[in-house]
Structure formats: C-alpha cells, structure tokens
C-alpha cells in the first residue's frame, strides 16, 4: 500500500497538545503494514478511557479532555484513525473502507494494546467504526458515550468514496469540482468551518500533504 506521513515538524508547538506520540504497526491488508498514532496519558493502574474521533479531525480534538481524565486518575487514550493526524495516510481512496477502519481499530486496541475495562467515547465516524468493536468485544467494554454518530447503512467493505451520497444541482457540481480539481486546497475550507482560534492547528495534520502532494 502506498502511503504518506505528515512530517513531525507540522505538530511542533501546537497549543494545548504537549503529548508524546505513540505508534502501533498494523496489517494494511495488502501485504504490508500501516502505522497508527495514539496519545496515551495518565496512570495505567486505573480505568481506561478510549476516544475515537470523527472525520476530518484527529486526536487534537480531545486535547482539553485528555488532561482532565488523566488528572482524575484515568488512563486516557486517543487514537488517530488511519488517514488522520499523525497516522499513515494511504494515497488511494480505495484503501479506505469502513471494514478496514474497523479492523485497524480492533488490531490497535485489542491485539496490540490488549485493553480491558474500556470506557469508550465515540464521535461522528468514530461511532460508525467503533460500534462494531464494542459489539464484538463486549466483555472488554465498561461504558460507551456516543456523540453525533450512528450505524452505517452501506456495505462496510465498500470504498468510502463510493459511500458518498450523490448530490444534485449545485451540490453535485461542487462534488465533481472537488474530486477532479488538482491541488485544490481543501484545508482552507476546513479552516473556515471550525473555530477561528484553533482552525490552523486542527488543519496542521493535513495542510502539508495537501499543499505538497495535491491530495
């Protein structure tokens, strides 16, 4: 699998994000491996809270919650889904499916970290991906918090690109423009729809790749 990584210097001196990076190598289902990043803070002698973000964010969205959980005595783990944040980013859309995301998260949390008694926080796509993990490993889960999420109605093995709902009129024209316009600076649109005070920091994980590789 061809993949990219956001350079480490893109994450230097991010406000409220002083956390040391941690990584696990996962099967990419194409004969190689893919690297997933996660934040791991707090004591390992107490309950664990696992946070799974949505799209198009990364573990940075939990930056305020992680210290609070750690101070309260919890082990706080926030992953970056593959394609997000400090995790590897497959270059082809066909490399992304809900089924693969589910397996990657399962490999990371169950096979690699061997987590038990998890309190899982799911947001947006994190819920679509994480609910399958919870269903398959109920004995490892203590509680679940869900925000703005649900279950996918599409085939989980289908490419995420194919799962996008076809638009009509101006929306469809915009979708086609975004898809075929080379070097379109997606991060500028993302920056415009998140809070001004953190917008550039939230985009930091993607801006370098978009500007230099045109993805």
- In tens, the pLDDT along 63-93 reads 999 999 999 999 999 999 999 999 999 988 8
In a domain, 198, yes or no: no
pLDDT-derived band at 33, boundaries 50, 70, 90 = very high
In a domain, 172, yes or no: no
What residues contact 68, with CB distance under 8 A and at least 6 apart? Answer: none
In a domain, 193, yes or no: no
Domain that holds residue 155: 3-162
d(CA 41, CA 62): 12
d(CA 48, CA 10): 28
In a domain, 13, yes or no: yes
Residue 99: CATH number of its domain: 3.40.50.1820
Query: Averaged over 99-109, what is the pLDDT?
Result: 96
Query: 25-40: string of b/e by CB count within 10 Å (b at 16+)?
Result: ebebeeeeebbbbbbb
d(CA 58, CA 49): 16
Query: Averaged over 179-197, what is the pLDDT?
Result: 60
In a domain, 133, yes or no: yes
pLDDT value, residue 205: 61
pLDDT-derived band at 207, boundaries 50, 70, 90 = low
d(CA 23, CA 165): 33
Confidence check: pLDDT of 107 > 90 = yes
Confidence check: pLDDT of 181 > 80 = no
In a domain, 186, yes or no: no
pLDDT: is 97 or 36 the higher one? 36
Confidence check: pLDDT of 172 > 60 = yes
In a domain, 52, yes or no: yes
Neighbours of 114 (CB within 10 A): 8
Domain count, the chain: 1
Three-state DSSP class for residue 52: strand
Three-state DSSP class for residue 119: strand
pLDDT value, residue 50: 98
Q: pTM higher than 0.85, yes or no?
A: no
In a domain, 129, yes or no: yes
Four-residue CA torsion sign, 144, 47, 130, 99: negative
Q: Show the CA angle centred on residue 96, arms to residues 194 and 20, nearest 5°.
A: 60
- In tens, the pLDDT along 115-143 reads 999 999 999 999 999 999 999 999 999 99
Please classify residue 134 by burial: count the beta carbons closer than 10 Å to its beta carbon, then call 0-12 exposed, 13-18 middle and 19+ buried. middle
Average pLDDT, the chain: 83
pLDDT value, residue 192: 62
pLDDT value, residue 211: 45
d(CA 63, CA 160): 27
């Amino acid at each position: 699998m061809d993949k990219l990584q956001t350079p480490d210097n893109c994450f230097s001196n991010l406000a409220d994000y002083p956390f040391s990076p941690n990584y696990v190598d996962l099967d990419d289902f194409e004969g190689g491996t893919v690297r997933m990043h996660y934040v791991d803070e707090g004591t390992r002698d107490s309950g664990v809270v696992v946070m799974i973000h949505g799209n198009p964010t990364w573990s940075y969205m939990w930056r305020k919650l992680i210290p609070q959980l750690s101070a309260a005595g919890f082990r706080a783990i926030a992953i970056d889904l593959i394609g997000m944040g400090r995790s590897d980013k497959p270059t082809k859309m066909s490399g992304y499916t809900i089924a693969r995301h589910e397996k990657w998260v399962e490999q990371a949390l169950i096979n690699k970290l061997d987590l038990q008694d998890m309190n899982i926080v799911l947001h947006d796509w994190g819920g679509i991906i994480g609910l399958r993990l919870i269903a398959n490993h109920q004995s490892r889960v203590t509680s679940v918090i869900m925000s703005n999420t649900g279950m996918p109605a599409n085939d989980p093995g289908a490419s995420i690109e194919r799962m996008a709902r076809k638009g009509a009129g101006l929306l469809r024209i915009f979708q086609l423009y975004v898809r075929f316009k080379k070097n379109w600076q997606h991060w500028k649109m993302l920056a415009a729809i998140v809070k001004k005070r953190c917008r550039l920091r939230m985009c930091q994980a993607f801006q370098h790749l978009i500007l230099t590789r045109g993805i």
